Amino acid sequence: MTMRSSSMATAPLFLAAVFLLFAAQGGHCMKLCMDSSFPRAVNGSLSFCGYNGTACCNATDDAAIGKQFAAMNISGTPCGDMLMSILCAKCNPYAGELFTVKKNPRTVPLLCNTTETGYCSKVWGACKAVSIPGSPFQPPKGGVSAPKLTEVWQSELDFCGALGGAPSTSTTCFDGESAAFNTTPASPPTNGMCLERVSNGSYLNMAPHPDGSNRVFLNNQAGKVFLATVPPQGSGKPLGLDVASPFLDITDEVHFDNEFGLLGMAFHPDFARNGRFFVSYSCDKTQSASCSGRCACNSDVGCDPSKLGADNGAQPCQFQNVIAEYSANASSGSPSTATSANPTEARRILTLGLPFTTHHAGQILFGPADGYMYFMMGDGGSQGDPWNFAQNKGTLLGKVMRIDINNIPTGNNTPGWGNYGIPKDNPFSVDPKFAPEVFALGFKNPWRCSFDSGKPSYFFCADVGQSSYEEVSLVVNGGNYGWRVFEGPNPFPVMSTPGGNTSAGSINAIPPVMGYAHNTVNNNVGSAAVTGGQVYRSMTDPCLNGRYVYADLYAQAMFAGTETPVGSGVFNDTPLPFACAKSSPIPCDASPKSALPSLGYIFSFAEDNAKDVFLLTSKGVYRVVDPSRCNYACPIKSSAAVESPPPAASPSSAFRARSPAVATVMLAGALLVMLMTLGF
């Protein structure tokens, strides 16, 4: 099983009571500029727009806005005062939401037009008859700009229909002073999550079949990929899976150990037509001739692999992370019908030599909006990232990478790390110090990232902490998530710096939007390591809908993050009680003294084509079901509700926020938890 670093190097075997009931919540925030970058710190305040603290403008931007406004020659008028605020909204920390609609930038922010805030109506009233040279107000489609609003729009209704609106789940609006958000709660209160066990198998990843069917792919850590059928909610049936017939078996290529194995799996969005899919795995170059790539520790980044030494688990480039492409066996010409894959690798995408034996992450995903492949990579190991890899823009360690596997260059244009193209808007396009593959930096060991299927611009990544804090961040292009300068929201005390150091003042670190301190979950298990989750988008449990659900690997602690207000990027996360349905297709393991299900280690969360969420654990695969099956109340009826519970089946083989304050930890029942030696 895959283990990750936390606050202890070793941990004993002992009984842990782990049913957690917490009383408090934490608030965190996320802001974005028009170019999808994070707002920058302002020295003093902007002389024209007046923003201080953080803003999406620098002094040059501020001066340009001042010059634009001066040319309009309406200063000192009611319309001028409003227009100055509207132009300066480009500096607002939420400018990315205010000015962007369906990826196209507006010339003015969305003007609030609600019962509470009729700001758009006020703008119309003040400016409709004013001549505005160089007017920024967008005319209707096909229209021509004019100095006066009445020369373009026939009425206030026409004007506000084009430029105004109310905040929604996907937009914010401008009220003349700041960003306004939808105050409607994301979903009703929830008092618990109900699970059913649908498989005994232990898997690291699950991916829905790209053809939209009720099938999923799962992979174990040893190197096998399986194709399974998901039974309907309420059917009482387990996953339909034949462990004797894997879809792909590359166990001979995979080095399987503590933090090594088949770590990632992703299917091309057009897999149903082209049959392309990809796996990310570990290999040992002393055991495999194909395990040969460029070492992540190299002279380009001021690191000599031969000088790492064998202490702290250093094995310079003996072990490597691989991304390889395979193809489905489709004799009929339709990959959707394939039940196996060609075991011969179709193409090597990347081979990355590792400096140490831990912190390898390894997940791969396709971006739902851009179609690029995202590859999550840890800092490479050793306690405290002594070589400062995560902050080194030139190395791939401690990064989220984004590559193009659809447009692979040839000849001298091929990137030095493998066979792929580079998206033109990766951070290197504005900062040549970045390795071209890098999308975001400052991660210790990003363990499980996901795109919100209801709002694909939200890309969540959980990052495993070291000694104090576990975090979840919203990842943006070029974002720096702080490690090892920070651990979550807290400054990190650097212990060893052979690779140099990075000061807090030299980076614009983005704080987590959710997370928890170690002492809130590890009192009884000795360790903490976050497992990233999913935004729940199913109506099987309407009270979870819209919430980001995640967990701790060891403590069996669940959390639900709620964005409040919707669209603001501000999250409150609270502990989430959970139970197992008595009618579970495969009975859940439980303590003799408690009804709490024993999940073992929680490796991953996943979503199928029906948007139902699954937990992949060392004890099996669990699915979130109708909360009433566990006697949890929800005022909205589940879409999976049945007249009577299905019969039980016999087991089958088939912005700087602080850490949440936790008020109470209650113990209920005892579960046997084996904590193995953790790698640093």
Triad 6, 11, 17: Cα angle to 5°:
90
Does the pLDDT at position 678 exceed 90? no
Residue 435: inside a domain, yes or no? yes
Question: Is 301 in the same domain as 387?
Answer: yes
Triad 293, 294, 296: Cα angle to 5°:
125
Does the pLDDT at position 647 exceed 60? no
Of 432, 441, 352, nearest in space to 402 by CA = 441
- The pLDDT of residue 416 is 62
Who wins on pLDDT, 47 or 660?
47
Residues 9 and 650: beta-carbon distance below 8 Å: no
Lowest mean pLDDT among 2-16, 221-235, 341-355, 451-465: 2-16
128-138 b/e (C-beta count within 10 Å ≥ 16 → b): bebebeebebe
Which residues pair with residue 112 across a beta bridge?
165
| 647 three-state secondary structure | coil
Alpha-carbon distance 194 to 629, whole Å? 7
Give the pLDDT mean for 159-176: 89
Structural domain ending residue among the three candidates 146, 180, 214: 180
How many separate domains does the chain show? 2
Question: Is 191 in the same domain as 249?
Answer: yes
Residue 334: inside a domain, yes or no? no
Instruction: Give the model confidence (pLDDT) of 593-624 as tens digits.
Output: 456 789 999 999 999 999 999 999 999 999 99
Residue 233: inside a domain, yes or no? yes
Q: At what angle do helices 78-88 and 59-72 cross, to 10 degrees?
A: 150
CATH number at residue 514: 2.120.10.30
353-386 b/e (C-beta count within 10 Å ≥ 16 → b): bbbbbbbbbbbbbbbeeeebbbbbbbbbbbbbbb
Question: Is 457 in the same domain as 596?
Answer: yes
Token pair belonging to 274: 């082209």
- The pLDDT of residue 361 is 97
Note if the bond before 656 is cis, omega within 30 degrees.
Answer: no
Token pair belonging to 187: 């979903």
Q: Are strands 193-199 and 571-575 parallel, antiparallel or unpaired?
A: unpaired
Alpha-carbon distance 463 to 529, whole Å? 8
Structural domain ending residue among the three candidates 139, 164, 180: 180
Phi, psi of 616 (to 5 degrees): -105, 120
Question: Is 243 in the same domain as 108?
Answer: no
Residues 679 and 381: beta-carbon distance below 8 Å: yes
- Within 10 angstroms of residue 50's Cβ, the number of other Cβ atoms is 14
- The pLDDT of residue 402 is 98
Question: Is 170 in the same domain as 196?
Answer: no
- The pLDDT of residue 591 is 60
- The pLDDT of residue 2 is 40
Of 215, 97, 18, 70, nearest in space to 672 by CA = 18
The mean pLDDT value of the chain amounts to 86
Instruction: Give the model confidence (pLDDT) of 262-307 as tens digits.
Output: 999 999 999 999 999 999 999 999 999 899 988 998 888 888 877 7
Residue 656: inside a domain, yes or no? yes
* Helix, strand, coil in percent for the chain, rounding step 5: 15, 30, 60
Alpha-carbon distance 262 to 491, whole Å? 33
Give the pLDDT mean for 114-123: 88
Element (H, E) at 415: none
| 43 three-state secondary structure | strand
Residue 7: inside a domain, yes or no? no
Residues 496 and 516: beta-carbon distance below 8 Å: no
Tell me the DSSP string of 439-507. Answer: EEE--S-EEEEEEETTEEEEEEEEE--SSSEEEEEE--TT-B--TTTEETTEEP-----TT----GGGS
Question: Is 295 in the same domain as 386?
Answer: yes
Give the pLDDT mean for 55-75: 95
Quick check: pTM over 0.95? no
Does the pLDDT at position 669 exceed 70? no
Residue 442: inside a domain, yes or no? yes
Instruction: Give the model confidence (pLDDT) of 510-527 as tens digits.
Output: 999 999 999 998 776 778
Residue 2: inside a domain, yes or no? no
Residue found under tokens 């989750």: 533
Tell me the DSSP string of 559-609. Answer: EEEEESSBTS--EEEEE--EEE-TT-SBPPPB-TT---B---SEEEEEE-T
Question: Is 531 in the same domain as 421?
Answer: yes
Alpha-carbon distance 381 to 3, whole Å? 12
Question: Is 463 in the same domain as 347?
Answer: yes
**Alpha helices in 264-393, H assignment, sequence order:** 271-274
Instruction: Give the model confidence (pLDDT) of 408-465 as tens digits.
Output: 887 655 456 789 999 999 999 999 999 999 999 999 999 999 999 999 989 999 999 9
The residues, any chain, with a CB within 8 Å of residue 465's CB and separated by 6 or more, are 6, 444, 471, 487, 488, 518, 528, 529, 530
Instruction: Give the model confidence (pLDDT) of 557-607 as tens digits.
Output: 999 999 988 888 899 999 999 999 999 999 998 765 456 789 999 999 999
Residues 560 and 547: beta-carbon distance below 8 Å: yes
Could you list the residue range(s) of the whole structural domain that residue 78 is in? 40-180
Lowest mean pLDDT among 41-45, 75-79, 105-109: 41-45
Does the pLDDT at position 182 exceed 80? yes
- The pLDDT of residue 665 is 28
| 408 three-state secondary structure | coil
Instruction: Give the model confidence (pLDDT) of 366-385 as tens digits.
Output: 999 999 999 999 999 889 99
Alpha-carbon distance 179 to 168, whole Å? 12
Residue found under tokens 């501020």: 62
Distances (CA, A) of 466 to 146, 484, 534, 551, 573: 59, 10, 23, 16, 21
Alpha-carbon distance 150 to 546, whole Å? 42
457-477 b/e (C-beta count within 10 Å ≥ 16 → b): bbbbbbbbbbbbbbbbbbbbb
Residue 644: inside a domain, yes or no? yes
Triad 83, 84, 87: Cα angle to 5°:
85
Does the pLDDT at position 632 exceed 80? yes
Q: Are strands 620-625 and 215-219 parallel, antiparallel or unpaired?
A: unpaired
Of 46, 76, 51, 79, nearest in space to 63 by CA = 46
Alpha-carbon distance 354 to 6, whole Å? 20
Who wins on pLDDT, 405 or 6?
405
Structural domain ending residue among the three candidates 147, 180, 213: 180
Residue 446 corresponds to which amino acid? P
Confidence of residue 672 (pLDDT cuts 50, 70, 90): very low
Residue 490 corresponds to which amino acid? N
Question: Is 228 in the same domain as 155?
Answer: no
Triad 90, 96, 97: Cα angle to 5°:
110
First to last CA, the chain: 16
Token pair belonging to 278: 């990809």
329: left (phi over 0), alpha (psi -120 to 50) or beta: beta
Residues 311 and 406: beta-carbon distance below 8 Å: no
Question: Is 84 in the same domain as 212?
Answer: no
- Within 10 angstroms of residue 102's Cβ, the number of other Cβ atoms is 5
Confidence of residue 313 (pLDDT cuts 50, 70, 90): low
Percent pLDDT > 70 in the chain is: 85
Element (H, E) at 62: helix 59-72
Question: Is 174 in the same domain as 231?
Answer: no
Does the pLDDT at position 147 exceed 90? no
Question: Is 385 in the same domain as 353?
Answer: yes
